């Protein structure tokens, strides 16, 4: 993740942490550990952690408290259910993230819930595209929804991180993207 640490000036980086409310899932763990690792590595930049949940807002606040007191980090939680945010961002594709969190230089989207971006550079992580590789294993609705979500993420994000070389190859084979937009960053392993 050197691309976040090489800029000369202090950057403001937004990260969607909404997925952490889904305890026990791979994406939840990925987002938690991503945030913790970035904050441990990067002592210069500022972070705005964004979360949306109607019923599980306390999970977002509880995670934020585990990060300790740090003036470089702030939390913005909005009381909207994920289905409404999915509709606003992935169907209508309205209300830029800056409307909720203010100006940021980079916004890292989570699990393909992709907001429109005004000026921020977009980054997302694609864990796999199994719904494209094996569509017969999924309902038509899931394939349709995931295609729509991914279409917005690919259009909005300049950098797409892939969990593995296999995922990068899959993304390359399904979409015509410049190879410099795709980077492989393997997820780390927690010792807990």
Residue 192 within a domain: no
Parent domain of 20? 10-184
Is residue 61 situated within a structural domain?
yes
Number of compact structural domains in the chain: 1
In a domain, 51, yes or no: yes
Residue 54 forms part of a structural domain: yes
How far is residue 4's CA from residue 11's CA, in Å, rounded to a whole number?
Answer: 8
Give a yes or no: residue 2 inside a domain.
Answer: no
Q: From the CA atom positions of the chain, what is the Rg in Å?
A: 16
Question: At 191, is the pLDDT very low, low, confident or very high (cuts 50, 70, 90)?
Answer: low
Give the per-residue pLDDT at 111: 72
**Tens digits of per-residue pLDDT, 28-44?**
999 999 999 999 999 99
Percent of the chain with pLDDT over 70: 95
pLDDT of 2 above 80: no
> In the predicted model, is pLDDT for residue 190 greater than 90?
no
> What are φ and ψ of residue 111, in 5° steps?
55, 35
Predicted local confidence at residue 5, as pLDDT: 55
CATH of residue 65's domain is: 3.40.50.2000
- Concatenate the DSSP letters of all residues of 141-180 into one string: HHHHHHHHHHHHHHHHEEEEEESSHHHHHHHHHHS---GG
- Other beta carbons within 10 angstroms of residue 103's beta carbon come to 11
For residue range 104-153, list pLDDT tens digits in order. Answer: 999 999 777 899 999 999 999 999 999 999 999 999 999 998 998 899 99
* Cα 147 to Cα 143: distance, rounded to the nearest angstrom: 6
CA angle, 104 as apex, 161 and 90 as ends, to 5°? Answer: 60
What is the pTM (predicted TM-score) of this model?
Answer: 0.92
Q: What is the pLDDT of residues 39-81, one digit of tens each?
A: 999 999 999 999 999 999 999 999 999 999 999 999 999 999 9
Tell me if 5 is assigned to some domain. Answer: no
Pairing status of strand 46-52 against strand 157-162: unpaired
Within a domain: residue 190? Answer: no
Nearest residue to 110 via CA among 152, 142, 78 = 152
**In this structure, is residue 3 part of a structural domain?**
no
Q: Give 13-32 pLDDT, tens digit per residue.
A: 999 999 999 999 999 999 99
Nearest to 15 by CA among 119, 92, 125: 125
The predicted model gives 168-188 an average pLDDT of 91
């Amino acid at each position: 993740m050197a691309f976040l640490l090489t800029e000369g000036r202090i950057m403001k980086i937004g990260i969607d942490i909404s997925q952490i409310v889904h305890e026990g899932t791979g994406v939840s763990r990925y987002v938690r550990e991503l945030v913790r690792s970035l904050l441990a590595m990067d002592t210069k930049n500022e972070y705005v952690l964004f979360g949306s949940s109607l019923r599980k807002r306390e999970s977002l606040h509880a995670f934020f408290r585990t990060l300790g007191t740090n003036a470089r980090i702030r939390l913005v939680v909005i009381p909207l259910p994920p289905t409404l945010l999915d509709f606003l961002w992935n169907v209508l594709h309205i209300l830029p993230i800056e409307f909720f969190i203010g100006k940021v230089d980079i916004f890292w989207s989570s699990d393909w819930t992709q907001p429109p971006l005004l000026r921020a550079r977009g980054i997302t992580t694609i864990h796999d595209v199994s719904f494209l590789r094996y569509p017969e294993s999924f309902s038509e609705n899931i394939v349709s929804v995931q295609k729509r979500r991914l279409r917005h993420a690919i259009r909005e994000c300049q950098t797409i991180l892939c969990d593995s070389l296999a995922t990068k190859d899959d993304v390359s084979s399904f979409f015509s993207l410049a190879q410099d937009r795709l980077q492989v960053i393997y997820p780390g392993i927690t010792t807990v």
